[in-house]
């Protein structure tokens, strides 16, 4: 096998999603470098493969890269895999690839599963451009700022989220992008309790409350991109909600209608439907 670094995508849940080429490469390389040798060791043994392994974690990626470069220089073929999915996609791997390239050595892509593309492909919201935002910041202020910066982007937005933050992230998406935009929530893709649903941002809280398991597992969120009409509506909703914080609903709707030129009844409906 030609010496170099082989960046190998692995399944995101279902072992059957390993590709034929990934299997061949993992069988043939001299060594497998992994984000977590225990996780990858389990996957390899599930596939009936036994290989010398090397741990390369996020905080030692530079150092680990030097070791791998040495091995490649000595003629080895080394595979790199992250815990699940495609390396370097919200996962370590990018610094290693950069270092190997800078050393003038070969890097080969062995593509396969990634939660982002898997979710996008079944969302029904992938017309044209899409923007991969990865994980949002854990603190609300920073998270809201990032969402605000994406508000007018005419591309579907793809986020990763952890179970303990899913509720607050969905609430912030609604607060910053308005209630009307559609969102596709993909939970536990390719796994036993896989679940997915397309809804408006206003419906996410009810969806989460629909079943205690819905706040568990791994999530990808795909949010419809901005259109001029939607941006205008979201703007009107921000004004409406600011006024509704100080005034009765009907008065807030009347003033917001005057400011934005929208129908009072539409704006009023946005406020009262929440309490239905």
Rg (CA), the chain: 23
With contact defined as beta carbons under 8 Å apart, do 55 and 92 qualify?
A: no
Candidate list 6, 184, 219, 268; residue touching ligand SAM; CB under 6 A: 219
- Tell me the closest approach of the beta carbon of residue 107 to ligand SAM, in angstroms: 17
Are 106 and 5 in contact, with CB atoms under 8 Å apart?
yes
Options 19-27, 77-85, 136-144, 262-270: segment touching ligand SAM (CB under 6 A): 77-85
How many residues bind ligand SAM (CB under 6 A)? The answer is 23
Listed in sequence order, the residues at least 6 apart from 101 whose beta carbon sits closer than 8 Å to its beta carbon are: 107
DSSP string, 30-62: SEEEES-HHHHHHHHHHTT----EEE--GGGHH
Q: Residue 84 interacts with ligand SAM (CB under 6 A)?
A: yes
Nearest-approach distance from CB 232 to ligand SAM, in angstroms: 31
Alpha-carbon 89 to chain mean position: 9
What's the CA gap between 175 and 169, in Å, rounded?
A: 10
Which of the stretches 108-116, 139-147, 173-181, 264-272 binds ligand SAM when contact is defined by CB under 6 A?
A: 108-116
Identity of the residue, 130 or 268, whose beta carbon is nearer to ligand SAM in the bound complex: 130
- Gap between the Cα atoms of 77 and 88, Å rounded: 19
> Is residue 218 at the binding interface for ligand SAM, with CB under 6 A as the rule?
yes
The residue whose Cβ lies closest to ligand SAM is: 85
Residue with smaller CB distance to ligand SAM, 183 or 257: 183
- Residue 197 makes contact with ligand SAM by CB under 6 A: no
Task: Report the interface residues with ligand SAM, using CB under 6 A.
Answer: 12-13, 82, 84-86, 89-91, 114-116, 160-162, 186, 188-191, 218-220
């Amino acid at each position: 096998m030609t010496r170099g670094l082989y960046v190998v995508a692995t399944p995101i849940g279902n072992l059957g999603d390993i590709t034929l080429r990934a299997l061949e490469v993992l069988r043939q390389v001299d060594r497998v470098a992994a984000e977590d040798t225990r996780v990858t060791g389990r996957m390899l043994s599930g596939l009936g493969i036994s290989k010398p392994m090397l741990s390369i974690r996020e905080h030692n990626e530079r150092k680990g890269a030097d070791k791998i470069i040495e091995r490649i220089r000595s003629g080895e073929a080394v595979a790199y895999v992250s815990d699940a999915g495609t390396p370097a996609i919200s996962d370590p791997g990018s610094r290693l690839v950069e270092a190997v390239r800078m050393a003038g050595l070969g890097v080969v892509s062995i593509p396969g599963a990634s939660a982002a593309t898997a979710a996008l492909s079944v969302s029904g919201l992938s017309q044209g451009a899409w923007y991969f935002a990865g994980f949002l910041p854990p603190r609300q202020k920073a998270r809201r700022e990032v969402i605000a910066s994406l508000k007018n982007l005419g591309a579907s937005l793809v986020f990763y989220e952890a179970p303990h933050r899913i509720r607050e992230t969905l609430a912030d998406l609604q607060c910053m992008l308005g209630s009307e935009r559609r969102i596709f929530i993909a939970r536990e893709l390719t796994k036993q309790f896989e679940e997915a649903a397309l809804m408006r941002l206003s419906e996410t809280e009810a969806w989460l409350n629909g079943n205690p398991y819905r706040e568990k597992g791994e999530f990808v969120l795909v949010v419809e991109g901005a259109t001029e009409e939607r941006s205008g509506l979201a703007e009107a909703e921000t004004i409406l909600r600011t006024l509704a914080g100080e005034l009765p609903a009907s008065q807030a709707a009347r003033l917001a209608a005057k400011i934005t030129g929208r129908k009072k009844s539409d704006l009023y409906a946005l406020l009262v439907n929440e309490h239905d």
